[in-house]
Amino acid sequence: MEEDPDAYRILKLRAEILELGSAIRQLQRAGLDHVAAQLLIGRKRAQLDHLMKTNSAGGGLNCQKRRPQ
């Protein structure tokens, strides 16, 4: 059984978003600039939203959207 490439991309983007969120918190605790990481996480979230919308329009995956706090 072959895996859905979109499902893999969604999982990969979610993992990247979680990692970036963790990096932002670490930078904030250290008092360092975290703006670049915030821009990157925003871009990844936009990619994830687009991929989720594309899949739902095509009757693809039934994934729930979650954003890390």
The amino acid present at 6, given as its one-letter code, is D
Measured distance CA(13)–CA(40) in Å, rounded: 11
pLDDT in tens, 2-53: 678 889 999 999 999 999 999 888 988 888 888 888 898 899 999 999 999 9
What is the enclosing helix (H) or strand (E) of 33? none
pTM of full prediction above 0.95: no
> Does 68 score more than 70 pLDDT?
no
All structural domains of the chain with their residue ranges: 5-56
Distance from C-alpha of 66 to C-alpha of 52, rounded to nearest angstrom: 11
37-51 in b/e form (b: 16+ CB < 10 A) is: bbeebeebbeebeeb
